[in-house]
Structure 1
Amino acid sequence: MAAGFKMAEPLEYHRSFLKENCRPDGRELSEFRTTSINIGSISTADGSALVKMGNTTVICGVKAKLANPLVEAPGKGFIVPNVDLPPLCSSQFRPGPPGEQAQAASQFMADIIESSEVLQTEDLCIERAKLCWTLYCDLMCLDYDGNLLDACSLALLAALKNTALPEVSVNDETGVPQVDLDKRLGLKIARHPVAASFCAFDDSVLADPTGEEERLATSRLTVVTDEEGRLCSLHKPGGTPLSGEKLRELIGRATARQKELHKLIDKVIKSIT
C-alpha cells in the first residue's frame, strides 16, 4: 500500500513524513546520512579515497604527471578535477560525453580548489618556468542516490591528503627530469574544505538529500566551509529564495558538519599510518 502511494503521489508521500518531522528513511530533517571513508583504495594512483554517504558512493583517484608551467604562471602547478557519472551508478545517466550534471560537478570541484586554497599550487612547481606537477583528480560515482557534491568534495579532500609525490630533480647538463619513485613526499594541505548540502521542501529544509528528495525539492543549497569556519563557496542553482536568517543557520550547520568530517578523515588516516 505504502509503495503504491509513494509511486502514485511521491510529493504527498514525503509530506506525510514531514508533518511528523521525519523522513522516509527514518532520519530527522537536519540529520546527515552515515558517512564512511576508505583511503588508498587504488593502488596504481598517487593518492585515492572512496567515500560512501548513505547509498551514494564516490571514488577519487589522483594521478600526478610532469608538465611545463604556464608562461603567465611560471611558478605554479595544476590541479585538474573531473567528475564522471557513468550509467552503472544510476539509470538516469546515459553513455557518451559528460552530461550537464557531471560538467557542473567538475566545475564545482574546480571552484572549491581555487576558492578554498586547499593547497598552494606553488608547492607543485619543481623548477620555475621549466617543470611542475599536474594533479589529475578523477572522481567517479559508483552509486548515485543524491548529494553528489558533498561526496565528491570529501573524496577529493581525502584523496589529496593521501597523495604522495615522488622526488624529482632536473639534470643540469641535459635538462632531463629524474624521478625517484622510492622517495615520496605527501602534499601540504593548507585548508580542509568540506561541502554540506540542503534542499528546501515546502517550509522544511532537509540536510543531505537523497536522489528522490532532490527531484522533489523546490530549491537546493551547498555550503562549503573550512576548519576555521571560513565560507569558501555558496552554490544555489535557482529555486525558491532562502531568508538571510535561514542562510545563516545553514552556514552554521555546514560549519559543524565540516568539523565532524575533518575529524573522520584524520581518524581514518591515523588508522592506516
Structure 2
Amino acid sequence: MAATSTTANAPSALTFPREIFAALQPRQYLLAHLSPASKSQTSVRPNGRKPTEFRKLSVNTDSLTHCNGSAVVRMGNTAVVCGVRGEILLARDVPNPPTISTNDEDNDRDELARLGLLVPNVELSTGSNPSHIPGQAPSGLAQSLASRLLQLLSTTGLVASKDLRIWYQPIIEQEPEVGSEPEIIAYWTLYLDILYISLDGAALDAAWLAMLAALRSVKLPKAWWDPDMEAIICSDSIADAKALSLRGLPIPAGFAVFDETPEGVEDTTQEKGWILADPDQFEEEHCREHISVVVDMSGDAANSIRAIDKRGGSFVDVEKMRTIVDLTQQRWKECKDVLDAQST
C-alpha cells in the first residue's frame, strides 16, 4: 500500500485580509505601513500617501442658486458644501446697539460678536459618516465644529463689519440734511450653513475652506432705508451688488501623530513617531496627539501664524512644531492657487 503524503494535507499559512487586520489590530496595522521591514522601503500610510502628504483639494464656487455665496470643497473622501445667506437685522431691534462712527473700520470684532452677525451652522447629512444615524439630534461633533469655526472667524478677523453695515443719511430736496450725521440703520447677518456630504477626517479644515471659498464669492445687494415705506429696500441689479473685503487668507492644516507607545502607557521617551498630515478618519481615531495650525501668508510671512491648537500626546516638541508650521505654509500656497483659480 502506497504511503500517504502529508504535504498535501498540511494547513496553509494563516493570513488575514487587510480589512480584518485593520479592524482587529488597528495600531499594528498602521505601524506595519509606517515602519516597513526593509530599510529600502519608505513609510507609506494605509491610504497610499506619504506621512507629510496632503490630499488633493478641489473647490467649486457659486454652486447653489439661492444663496449670496456658496462653495463645494472636496479633500479625498471628505466633501463639504457651504452656502451663505444674508438677512437684514434692523438696528432698532438690537438692545443697546454699539455706537460706531463712519471712520471706525478696524476695531469691529466686538461689534460682530455682540450682534451675532456671523452664524455658522454645521450639519452631517445621512450617509456622510457611519456614526451618523438618521433622525438623531445634532451631534456633538457638529456643535463643536460650529463653535470652533465661529472662534476662528473671530481670531482671524476675516470678515469686516463695515461690509455688513447699512447706513442712512437723512435727505431734504436731494441734499443731506444740515447738521445730520449718517447712522447705521441696519446690518447684514450672514448665516453660514455647512453640510458634510461625506466625512473622512479633516473635518475642520474642509469646513473652513468651504466657508472661506463661499465668503470670497459672496455678493450682497445694495440696500438702503426708504423713509416713506419705513423699510430696507434692496436693489435687484447684480451690477449694484458688492463683494466682501475679506482680511487676508487664513488657511488651516490638521496633523495627527502616531507613535509606537502601547495603549495605556504614557510616552516619555519620544523615540519614534510619525507626523501624519491631513489625517483621514481611521488615522484620527488611532492617533493620540492632534495639532491644527492656521497660517496666513498673504501679509508678513514671518508673522503668518494665526492660531495653533494642540491636543493630547507628548511627541511634538518645538523642533517638530517648526516642521509642522513649514508644512502648513506649503499647504497654504497650494490652497491659495486652487482658491484663486475659482476667483478668476
The TM-score bracket by the shorter chain reads: over 0.9
Say whether 1:194 aligns with 2:210: no
Match of 2:289 among 206, 209, 219: 219
Query: Would the aligned equivalents of 1:83 and 1:103 in 2 still touch at CA under 8 Å?
Result: yes
Name the amino acid aligned to 2:186: L
Match of 1:205 in 2: 275
Contact 2:225–2:232 under 8 Å retained in 1: yes
Contact 1:74-1:130 within 8 A present in 2 as well: no
Q: Distance in 1 between matches of 2:65 and 2:228?
A: 35
TM-score by length of 2: 0.75
Structure with larger Rg? 2
1:172 matched to 2:227: yes
Structure 1 window deviating more from structure 2 (206-215 vs 171-180): it is: 171-180
How far has the Cα of 1:107 moved from its partner? 1.1
2:58 is paired with a residue whose SS is strand
Alpha-carbon distance in 2 for matches of 1:267, 1:192: 14
The one-letter amino acid of 1:93's match is H
Any gaps of 5 or more consecutive residues in structure 1?
Answer: none
Pairwise CA distance, 1:72 = 4.5
1:156 alignment partner AA: M
Gap regions ≥5 residues in structure 2: 1-16, 37-42, 101-110, 168-182, 260-272
- Structure 2 distance, partners of 1:114, 1:201, is 31
Contact (CA 8 Å) 1:119, 1:191: kept in 2 or not?
Answer: no
C-alpha contact 1:81 1:109 (8 A) present in aligned 2: yes
Are the structure 2 counterparts of residues 243 and 162 from structure 1 closer, same or farther at C-alpha, using a change threshold of 3 Å?
Answer: same
Deviation at 1:266, TM superposition (A): 0.5
Matched, 1:5 2:25: no
Aligned amino acid, residue 5 of structure 1: F
Contact 2:257/2:315, CA 8 A, preserved across alignment:
no
Matched, 1:87 2:126: yes
Return the alpha-carbon distance in structure 1 between the equivalents of residues 328 and 97 of structure 2.
36
Q: Matched residue of 1:89: which SS?
A: coil
How far off its partner does 1:241 sit? 5.4
Which of residues 176, 182, 186 in structure 2 aligns to 1:131? Answer: 186
Larger strand percent: 1
**Structure richer in helix, relative to its length:** 1
CA deviation digits over 1:122-179, x for unaligned, max 9?
A: 2211124420100000111100101101101100100000110000011134431111
Equivalences for residues 1-273 of structure 1 within 5 A: 1-20=17-36, 21-69=43-91, 70=94, 71-75=96-100, 76=111, 78-94=117-133, 95-127=135-167, 128-182=183-237, 183-202=240-259, 203-227=273-297, 228=299, 229=301, 230-240=304-314, 242-270=316-344
Looking at structure 2, the residues matched to 250 and 130 of structure 1 have their Cα atoms a distance apart, in angstroms, of 46
Give 1:184 shift.
Answer: 1.2
The alignment of Structure 1 onto Structure 2 pairs a total of residues equal to 270
CA-CA distance at 1:11 after TM superposition: 1.1
Counterparts in 2 of 1:3 and 1:260: CA distance versus 1, 3 Å: same
Residue 109 of structure 1 aligns to a residue whose secondary structure is: helix
Amino acid at match of 2:213: A
Return the alpha-carbon distance in structure 2 between the equivalents of residues 10 and 55 of structure 1. 20
| Aligned sequence identity (%) | 30
Which range moved further: 187-196 or 208-217? 187-196
Q: Deviations over 1:64-91 (max 9, x none)?
A: 0000345353545611111112332112
Which ranges of 4 or more aligned residues in structure 1 deviate by more than 6 Å?
Answer: none
Letter of the 2:243 counterpart: G
| Cα-to-partner distance string for 1:175-208 (whole Å, 9 max, x where unaligned) | 3111112231111112111110000000111000
Q: 1:195 corresponds to which letter in structure 2?
A: P
CA distance in 1, matches of 2:315, 2:97: 40
